[in-house]
Structure 1
Amino acid sequence: MAAKSVKKVVLAYSGGLDTSVILKWLQQTYGCEVVTFTADLGQGEELEPARRKAEMAGVKQIFVDDLRETFVKDFVFPMFRANALYEGQYLLGTSIARPLIAQRQIEIAEEVGADAVAHGATGKGNDQVRFEVAYYALKPDVTVIAPWREWDLTSRTRLIEFAEKNQIPVTKDKRGEAPFSVDANLLHSSSEGKILEDPAIEADEIVYQRTIRPEDAPDVATTITMDFHNGDAVAINGVALSPATLLTQLNALGKANGIGRLDLVENRFVGMKSRGIYETPGGTILLAAHRGIESITLDREAAHLKDSLMPRYAELIYNGFWFSPERRMLQALIDTSQASVSGRVTLKLYKGNVTVIGRESPNSLYSMKVVTFEDDQGAYNQVDAQGFIKLQALRLRLGAAAGRKGGTP
């Protein structure tokens, strides 16, 4: 791709060393105007320094957008309706943030008349796929610039040398080797690399930023209630909250009780295995609560169908296919299932654990009259079970009669 083919590019910009170097590199290599976009997804950092750094670099169009409510309402909540877990454990905190960032980047590109977008993801990770698949889904003819796949700044030392040569401010802690890298948003924090690369060695306590050690959590349990409407959490302890405010409060509750730590070796989409330390305090509580309300409001086969589709849904998000037709199809099915998922769940939080201890709903399918061990007054005829069992066992009886055991020839 010829550098002269790009006139204006929208850069996903954090203001950190990497994207600050990328900003200058784009200006020099492509001779183009750079528009910066910084998203506030609840990462817990002051974002105005990013604006000031962009101004110092001569950027004329700077976007710093608070997307926290959109992030939780339109991305996190739909994902949690599916109870999505990648490889049975990961709550997809990084994965679900990328499509929103990409979506807003493309919107800005349309607004300012840019012909390209750029990101700071490396050529080894999943994020390059997530960003670029989303870009192309939303704007098929867009030009994508991925500096880590183009430039020769292949080490931290070379990045710092480039920064100093071009008068890009470098904080002191960046002059040494950072012990690990961190990505964070309102749903989670993710730490990986350097001191975390050996999966046989326990992560040092300095890695954890969003949770206290379960051993240090209070000796008395915290009991809370959560209200749901159509599959989405709407209140904590009877107080109605906006999506982002609700997740923020759940994060505080999870942190105080040592909830949401995960040490995971996962399979990246690009083919390698990687070890990450994830902290998802509020999300861990939310998942338990959502499954709790579903347990009394979803029909058995509907619930089992949802669970069978969940790994595929989670994989689509992990791999970057949020805007794919198959994810949208699955979402429509999942959202339909949530029409009856309303009610209240009571949870106990204690030293890293979340336990559902109560659930109630006007749409409950749980019948004490049918399930009771006492006299059900004819609500359930136990004799009916005999025919049911014989029909279920019919194929096994036929196989055994033919000399086969357990269906094995």
Structure 2
Amino acid sequence: MSSAPRTPLMPLDEALSTLLQQITPSNGSELVATFDADGRVLAEDVVSSLQVPAFDNSSMDGYAVRCADLLPGAELSVTQRIPAGHQGQPLQAGQVARIFTGAPVPQGADAIVMQEQAELVADGDIPRVRFTHRPQVGEWIRQSGEDIRQGQTALRRGQKLGPAELGLAASLGLAQLRVVPRPRVALFSTGDELVMPGDVAPQDMPAGAIYNSNRFFLRALLHRLGCEVSDLGIVPDRRDATLAALKTAADHHDLILTSGGVSVGEEDHVKPAVQALGALALWQIAMKPGKPFAYGHVRRETQNGTAHFVGLPGNPVSSYMTFLLLVRPLILKLQGVENLVPECLQLPAHFELPKADKRREFLRARRNDQGGLDLFPNQSSGVLTSVVWGDGVIDNPSGKTIARGDVVNFWPFAGWLS
């Protein structure tokens, strides 16, 4: 037995910091239709060339009035009707205008009275109304520029675009947006034991074979981050096959992502293959699940530069969690996203964890109807059911037990997957 000292485990925060120092955000950009920009990342600031709203307008159906005219018992003439999309005439003393939501406020008017607060006292060619409410100046008027001022930066470079951001861009008249190109990721799995669902029926599975679940959730996670994914399938446990896959992937991709095959066993060919084509660092991270992790780069043969390489552990929950905690921020930084950390909640534990672990644990849990957290009973790194059952993980520091009622840090999966 070897007496060589073991390499100390690397704290997760140190591993993430070291990883992100290797990443340079893309300086490229492309123009896409605003309709098609959901999930993309802005490559430049969006500065408004106009006011939003562009003009003072009514936020209610009602009457545009001059507050000075609304004396007790006053009956005022309705001299015009202003629907949305139409410009009214200046309002004179003693006059009001029937107005509808979104319509421009006529010159001279300084408030809107809701239609429910008006009484029609005379109908005819020029109706007359009396009001049951005396408004304050500016009431129910949306001021020009109260949303966005001309020259204001409405959306910032590095911002990930969602439905609200697309609506805001459209309100500025932008039919196209300049965004960061999608990261190009090559994905493959290693292991002769892996079988694809549909290739072999469950009853016909050979001894020692397992279905390749990692390939499915990793591909889905990459797509959610806006990546272009090249699925290279399952690479056989052979050095020549591994070298060929890495060469193909490096020439056309920004990142090569693998699961399994990064340990030091005789059948683990990823490590020597990456080292032959570039460089590789094997990290043992002080986290549970997900201790083994590999980062490096592979030289491109047909163009300058290198592709990033990340090797994830083979156990499904370990692979899932290391992706969320390490690969996700890597990919976001490639796109220039500045906000890499989702919201963490503080919630009470409705369970007990009497045994502390030496590593920082990410315990699969879910919120209950009482506002606390329940713990999945089996926290094994091979039990993918825990991720399906849970709606997040408890971030439990090393060496810490949990008593019922303790307030713990909880990361909802929704924040990582949005």
TM-score, normalised with respect to structure 2: 0.22
Larger strand proportion, structure 1 or 2? Answer: 2
Larger helix proportion, structure 1 or 2? Answer: 1
Higher Rg:
2
TM-score, normalised with respect to structure 1: 0.22
Greater relative contact order structure (CA < 8 Å, 6+ sep): 1
